[in-house]
Structure 1
Amino acid sequence: MIESSNVGRVRAAAEGRLDAREVWGPAAPAFLEAQWQAFERFMAAAPGPIYGVTTLTGHRDGEAHSLTPAQINHAIADSHWFEPTSEPEDGLWRLITLTKLAQMAIGGTPVRLELFNALAEGLTAGRAGRIDMNASYSSGDVIPACQWALQSLRFAGLSVEDLAPGEMIALINGDFVHLGSALWAAERIASARLRNDAQGRRAARLLSVSGRYAQRQFPVSFRAMEDVSAALASTERLMDMTADRLLGSPSGNPLFHVGPPSRMESQASFLATDLSLAQGSLIEASLALAWIISRRIQHLCEAFHDGASLSNPIALIQKPKLAEARLEALRLRHGVRTFASGGVMSEGVEDFWTRGLMTSSATADIATGLTDMLRIEADVMDWIEAQQTSA
């Protein structure tokens, strides 16, 4: 049964278990058409400048210029484009695309229905573009968002030339890159946690038969396995709850309100501060799990490292060292949390960093580290069980 939550629908569509149109629902086409018509009327009657449509961006909207709206689309695209160097990641691309389409269908970032449909059709074409996970300082992730936008246009057979006034800023603004990448990275953590749970039970059985703890209690790292795993699962639920709310909320700047009266609102819905904080909790719990795995490996190796009957008495000596090295590498890379530095000045104008894509990248890196450590532990247990079988 398909989940009824926003997150559940997006994940199901990303995995091909649900038609993507179910993510935004049957009412979306009529709404998008009506919103665009209202936006066109607003642009025609606007008494002053409209940010990103008739003005420069990057907090330079008060400066005089001679660019047309079509030229502003090009200026935005050119100033935010950096050639991506990463390899395509289909799961990441699909979640980012579905997140953007879901939020556009809610409203606030007006685009024409034909553009929306062209982007949606790209999901069924099986194409995945490249998103640089290290190309954002995160205040809306507009650099990777531009990578997504221009590649998505190309996949649809379109270019910036084909955009109507205001559509370029609508495509790159918002929290969708952060949100989609957060869902992608969290799935990888959840997969590692489930593997850990099964592997931890196997490790406990082996330690029991070793006889090392026959007269004393198991080490804390074994007794705390369920608690730490439950804590990690709790942070996953917190992140899903946060993501679910954001998937049901408009995101961009400015946001267009159909009205009446129609108006543009300058705000900061692109930040997703609470999502970064939820990811921070996820990262902390994941690092705690990494410690548990490292200690389990150490105890298993100590319990089974000696004995004249072993085929190789020194077979395990490097395993705990490598696991500890993996743990320390994760701590070194991800010990500084989200808001260690909160802002920066760009040409004299303040900005605020929520480190969205960077935090997603850190989460994905930790998931890879957990998987590597679990593989080391599996190798240790395979070796131990082989020795027991041959004894």
Structure 2
Amino acid sequence: MSEANCLSIEKGSLWRDRNFMCLWMGQSVSEMGSSITNIILPLLAITTLSATPGEIGLLRAMASIAVLLASIPSGVYIDRFNKRSLMIVCDFVRAAILVTVPLFAFYDQLSMYWLYAVSFLCSVFSVAFGIAYHSYYPIFVPRKDLPEANSKIETTESAARVGGPGIGTFMAGWIGAPLTLLFDVVSYIASAVLLSFTKTDESSKVKVTKRPPLLQEIGEGFKLLYANSVLARTAMTTIGSMFCLAMMNAVFLYYLISDLKLSPQMVGIVFFIGEGGGLLAAILASALMRSVGSAKIMWWVVFLSPAGFLLGGAQSHPLLLPTLYLCLTSVRFVLFDIAQYSYRQSSCPLESLGKVTASIRTCIGIAAASGAIFGGWLGSIVSPVASIFIATVLMCVSSLPVVFSALRHTRDIEDLPALTHVDR
């Protein structure tokens, strides 16, 4: 889209953009279902299959391993094919995979091995969906409106993280954990239907060039990612932070249930209120980015990284401190992600955005898989809270590339350099 056209689109026009609204509504429904699944799968493993911290860590790691294995090929091929059609296929496939869990549970055939398989397979198609999704809407959303679009998307993702655990634990107590997963099955189908109403000519918006061999395209994604200092530094902090977050997530639920002796309902309250911080941050993100600066906000929020140390007093305050930890951590990740998504989408050529996104997701997959396995192992060897403390120290270290970057002196992402090409 030309700069003139971008400037002609008035503020708030995304509410009247049918393509964006259908895409956003589909994502909102799907995210709520996925958030319920994210809490129900480990809850099912702990309460029904008596899973250990190591097994929960491995269950979470399966999703990260899928990210690692699927990101690069997905990113390369997504840039070649119709993104909308691919997302619809991914929705239907994920629904078909997930519906097997209540079926297997009904026939008393459910096992940790099958939960590992479901987590892995659903994540493979979620990777393809996510890369296509984040490469699709920049085609029809003007560059200046990308922060607003990402803020709206992150708002619903945060709302799902807030509501999902509470709704999931309530439904699990009412109809049982396996049947609760049917909500996610329905959400995937609803997402596919809503996506079918989006209409945009992808080929006319994306510059078509002769495609080099697969390995060369993979290399191009990494070259683009590290072609400028700010993009590289935000990527390094993102990847390092995800390793630490995966360490924490591997043992946090187990810590709440086994060490702090919280009931599933109390766990739901911790997640509902704690993730509410992320929801509030997402709602206020556009205003905060206008006030503080869409680039500067990335620099400020990394100073929330030490939040994990709050759990040192959780035995005395088993609801307050875990909730506060989760709240501050959610705010930190939500605001950082909105800003870094916006910069990446506005700085990368549309025809290469899928490859760059895939490159980051591959690195995140490596970090998250190893973090989940290491966190689960460490939680079994020492204790869950010790694992979280170590992860907190590492998260502070991973923030240093951003702390000592040009973001410290730059207000908005428009003031940062954009990438136009990469030498092959």
- Structure 1 length as normaliser, TM-score? 0.29
Judging by fraction of residues, say which structure has more helix: 2
User: Which has more radius of gyration?
Assistant: 1
TM-score by length of 2: 0.28
